[in-house]
Structure 1
Amino acid sequence: MTATAIAPAGRTMIVPASERRLKNHTGLAQTVQNTLTMAYRGLVKIRRTPEQLVDVTLQPIIFTLMFTYIFGGAISGDVASYLPVIIPGILVQTVITTSVVTGTQLREDMDKGVFDRFRSLPIARIAPLSGALLADTVRYAIATVLTFTMGFLMGLRPDGGLAGVVAAGLLVIACSWAISWIFAFFGVIARSASSVQGISMLVLFPLTFLSNAFVPVETMPGWLQWFVNINPVSHLVTAVRDLVNNGVFGVDAWVSLLGAAVIVAIFAPLTVRAYMRKA
């Protein structure tokens, strides 16, 4: 059979079987091409509405200045000594928090009917989802560059060199991309964008602030230290510090990559399955 009759709104329409197969079973090459196209769409949205970048542009600057000058003297004696501690912490906290946007914007597009339009196009069904995830890596890169730039302007001189800084940035971007799958899943199953943001922040704030991102673990109460030591954010912060300050890709970096791989292995299939049911 080469065609199928369907009847929307009381009328009969003939849809070629080849077109149905194209929508449901696209090849790898077309899927990649459609994903890149949807990622470009995300970048165009950012260019036309630059206020979407407020979180990744202002947050690194404000947080770096605020935390450095408030806690620098109390924790490390002076600002210069505190910068190697706080810049990796600010970087991880900022970029991970930015990954929430993936879920909220995904939910907004679905609520506005944008994905209904995509459903009618002869493109890979997964492309709008994968394209959004890919486009958001640009946001992570912007936050990473701005955070390190602020650190350099304030006097940070990383002993790990340029290679250590680049490796640390790539590690944070990769882990944040993995975490964005969690919030993409929330975006698909949630009822509103505000609920996605509320749930995400409820999860992220304890993880980022109850970590070693801003203060040494040994200064915390004993009952809190056990949680901070097993907190995955603490492992990522320590990995970034090792790379930036010493140029060492240590155990914490491997733990962070393993955690990212586990998150993707669990939430990518869940997100894709939930998305396909609605797409």
Structure 2
Amino acid sequence: MTAVAQVEQWSHPGSFTQLRLLTARQLRHAFADRRAVVLNLVQPLVMLTLFGQIFGSIAGPGALPGGVRYLDYLMPALLVTTGIGAAQHAGIVLVREMGTGMTARLRSLPVNLRLVLVARAVTDLTRAALQLLVLLACGAALFGFVPSGGVPGMVGALVLALAVIWSLIWVFLLIAAWLRSLEVLTGIAFLVTYPLMFASSAFVPVEKLPGWLRAVATLNPVTYAIDAARDLTIGGGSAASPAVGLAATAPLGVAAMLAAFRAFRRPLSR
């Protein structure tokens, strides 16, 4: 084989090889600081403890469907809402890499730019998966969370939550790739996070919300994902099904992914 042929072969690795190398780089960076990893894993536990104690203390026996404990009602919601933080992190890291020159260096290599975003999404989905596993394990060990749906229901809710998180990650990657401003992204994340979390069925049934907030929660796709997760774990009596939960978020994720690919190909200079 000639030297030119060797260079040509090295310069065009396959898509799978590119994705593997890009994801490995992102994972090494994500888990390099053990302190940050520990803090990332305990965040959902803090939310479980605080919201479980605060809202659980005021939730009457008849306030929840089927008379379930508030902790059991809250856990499926946290599986879904935990992903909002992971999605924000994906966008923040992307903006930072675009600002430090890492993205410019990748553009100078024979790399499929779409795979750069996919690697970023896979990395943050992995972080979220670890968070959810720790949340479920600690919820069972420390708070006695035993879903009536059993292990199959818990696994189904976990898979559903990861699918929703995948869609949310692409939404924030789109925002980051299009706006390319950490300050603007942070501001949008603040405005999006709280309506997605609190204007939903995450902490109280939709029927208990004020009229205007109930209307917002009905339009919130996160509501259907949370209700579907509850159906799988505790059988909350909601009409939502896993298929409905996915249908409410998957189209948004696909559209955001395609738009993010296009936005990321724009020149870096403004």
State the match for 2:84 in structure 1: 96
Provide TM-score, normalisation by structure 2. Answer: 0.86
Moved more, 232-241 or 252-261: 252-261
Flag the 1:247–1:82 CA change in 2: closer, same or farther, 3 A: closer
Q: Which amino acid aligns with 1:126?
A: R
Aligned residue among 18, 41, 57 for 1:57: 41
In the alignment, the residues of structure 1 paired with residue 259 and residue 39 of structure 2 have an alpha-carbon distance, to the nearest angstrom, of 28
Moved more, 263-272 or 164-173: 263-272
Moved more, 94-103 or 167-176: 94-103
State the match for 1:48 in structure 2: 32
In the alignment, the residues of structure 2 paired with residue 265 and residue 45 of structure 1 have an alpha-carbon distance, to the nearest angstrom, of 27
- Equivalent residues of 2:98, 2:180 under 8 A apart: no
- Equivalent residues of 1:56, 1:98 under 8 A apart: no
Q: Structure 2: which 5+ residue stretches go unaligned?
A: 63-67
| Number of aligned residue pairs | 259
State the match for 2:101 in structure 1: 113
- Equivalent residues of 1:164, 1:247 under 8 A apart: no
- Equivalent residues of 2:225, 2:248 under 8 A apart: no
Aligned residue among 143, 159, 175 for 1:170: 159
- Equivalent residues of 1:55, 1:98 under 8 A apart: no
Provide TM-score, normalisation by structure 1. Answer: 0.83
Aligned residue among 204, 223, 242 for 1:234: 223
- Kindly state the Cα deviation for residue 88 of structure 1 after the two structures are TM-superposed: 1.2
Aligned residue among 52, 56, 61 for 1:72: 56
Q: Does 1:209 find its partner at 2:204? A: no
Which stretches of structure 1, 4 residues or longer, exceed 3 Å deviation after superposition? 50-56, 246-252
Flag the 1:229–1:149 CA change in 2: closer, same or farther, 3 A: same
Aligned residue among 169, 194, 218 for 2:183: 194
State the match for 1:262 in structure 2: 251
State the match for 2:71 in structure 1: 83
Identity of aligned residues (%): 31
In the alignment, the residues of structure 1 paired with residue 239 and residue 163 of structure 2 have an alpha-carbon distance, to the nearest angstrom, of 16
Q: Which amino acid aligns with 1:112?
A: T
- Equivalent residues of 1:137, 1:177 under 8 A apart: yes
Flag the 1:250–1:54 CA change in 2: closer, same or farther, 3 A: farther
Q: Which amino acid aligns with 1:272?
A: F
State the match for 1:34 in structure 2: 18
In the alignment, the residues of structure 2 paired with residue 270 and residue 94 of structure 1 have an alpha-carbon distance, to the nearest angstrom, of 24
State the match for 1:143 in structure 2: 131
SS in structure 1 at match of 2:164: helix
**1:43-64 deviations in Å (ceiling 9; x for gaps):** 1012212344366312211111
In the alignment, the residues of structure 2 paired with residue 264 and residue 162 of structure 1 have an alpha-carbon distance, to the nearest angstrom, of 27
State the match for 2:214 in structure 1: 225
SS in structure 2 at match of 1:74: coil
- Kindly state the Cα deviation for residue 124 of structure 1 after the two structures are TM-superposed: 2.3
Aligned residue among 137, 156, 164 for 2:145: 156
In the alignment, the residues of structure 2 paired with residue 83 and residue 185 of structure 1 have an alpha-carbon distance, to the nearest angstrom, of 34
Moved more, 213-222 or 241-250: 241-250
- Kindly state the Cα deviation for residue 183 of structure 1 after the two structures are TM-superposed: 0.5
- Equivalent residues of 2:121, 2:169 under 8 A apart: yes
SS in structure 2 at match of 1:158: coil
- Kindly state the Cα deviation for residue 30 of structure 1 after the two structures are TM-superposed: 1.1
RMSD: 2.8
- Kindly state the Cα deviation for residue 83 of structure 1 after the two structures are TM-superposed: 1.4
**1:127-181 deviations in Å (ceiling 9; x for gaps):** 2211111111111101211221232120111111111111111111111111111
Flag the 1:250–1:150 CA change in 2: closer, same or farther, 3 A: farther
Moved more, 259-268 or 135-144: 259-268
SS in structure 2 at match of 1:99: helix
In the alignment, the residues of structure 1 paired with residue 55 and residue 228 of structure 2 have an alpha-carbon distance, to the nearest angstrom, of 22
Q: Structure 1: which 5+ residue stretches go unaligned?
A: 1-14
SS in structure 2 at match of 1:157: coil
Q: Which amino acid aligns with 1:122?
A: P
- Equivalent residues of 2:73, 2:234 under 8 A apart: no
Flag the 1:22–1:86 CA change in 2: closer, same or farther, 3 A: same
- Equivalent residues of 1:22, 1:123 under 8 A apart: no
